[in-house]
Amino acid sequence: MKPTAVFDYLYRYRMPFKRWLWLGAGLWILTLIALMWLFNVNSQLNVVKGLAVISALALVLLYQFVTIRYFTNILFRLHCFLKATREHRTTSTTEHLIEDGEVGALFKDLQQTTLALEQFYQHADTVAQQQQMLSEAVKQSTNSIVITDLQHNILFVNQAFCHVSGYTTAEIIGKTPKILQSGKTPETTYIDIRHALAKGNAWSGELTNKSKNGDLINEHITIMPIKNTQGEIWRFMAIKENITAIKRAEQHIHSLAFTDNITKLANRHSLLQQFEKWQERNFAILLININNFKQINNQYGLVAGDKLLISFATKLKSTLPADCFIARLNSDEFVVLLPDCNIATLTTLYEQQLHLLQGEITAGILQTTINCRFGACIYPQHGKNISDLLTNADMASRRAKHSSKKLVIFQSAMKLEYEKQMKQLSILRQELLKPTHLSLVVQPQIELKTNSCIGAEVLLRLNHPDSPNNNIYSFILLAEHYGLIKKLDQWVIKQSLLLLLELQNFKYDKKLSVNISAASFQDPDFVDFIVQLLVELSLSTPNLTLEITESALISQPHIAIKNAERLEQLGICLSIDDFGTGHSSLAYLQQFSVCQLKIDKSFIDNVTTNVKDKAIVETTLLLAKGLGLKTVAEGIENEQQRLLLLQLGCDYAQGFYFSRPITPDAFQVMLTSQSFQVSD
pLDDT tens digits along 328-344: 998 889 999 999 888 88
- Sorted by where each starts, the structural domains of the chain and their CATH numbers stand as 1-139 (no CATH), 141-247 (3.30.450.20), 259-410 (3.30.70.270), 433-673 (3.20.20.450)
pLDDT of residue 360: 84
- Least trusted range by pLDDT, from 30-44, 62-76, 402-416, 481-495: 30-44
Closest CA to 149 of 239, 240, 237: 237
Q: How confident is the model at residue 218 (pLDDT cuts 50, 70, 90)?
A: very high
pLDDT of residue 557: 72
Q: Please say whether the beta carbons of 374 and 400 come within 8 A.
A: yes
Closest CA to 291 of 397, 408, 410: 397
Q: How confident is the model at residue 42 (pLDDT cuts 50, 70, 90)?
A: low
- Least trusted range by pLDDT, from 260-269, 417-426, 508-517: 417-426
**Chain mean pLDDT for the chain:** 82
Residue 357 has pLDDT above 90, yes or no: no
460 three-state secondary structure = strand
CA distance linking residue 198 with residue 370, whole number of Å: 65
Query: Which of the given ranges, 81-90, 109-118, 373-382, 581-590, has the highest pLDDT on average?
Result: 373-382
3-state SS of 604-643 is: HCCCCCCHHHHHHHHHHHHHHHHHCCEEEEECCCCHHHHH
pLDDT of residue 35: 67
Q: What is the mean pLDDT of residues 643-654?
A: 94
Residue 6 has pLDDT above 50, yes or no: no
pLDDT of residue 90: 57
Q: How confident is the model at residue 680 (pLDDT cuts 50, 70, 90)?
A: very low
pLDDT tens digits along 534-564: 999 888 767 899 998 876 666 667 788 888 8
Pairing of strands 359-363, 333-339: unpaired
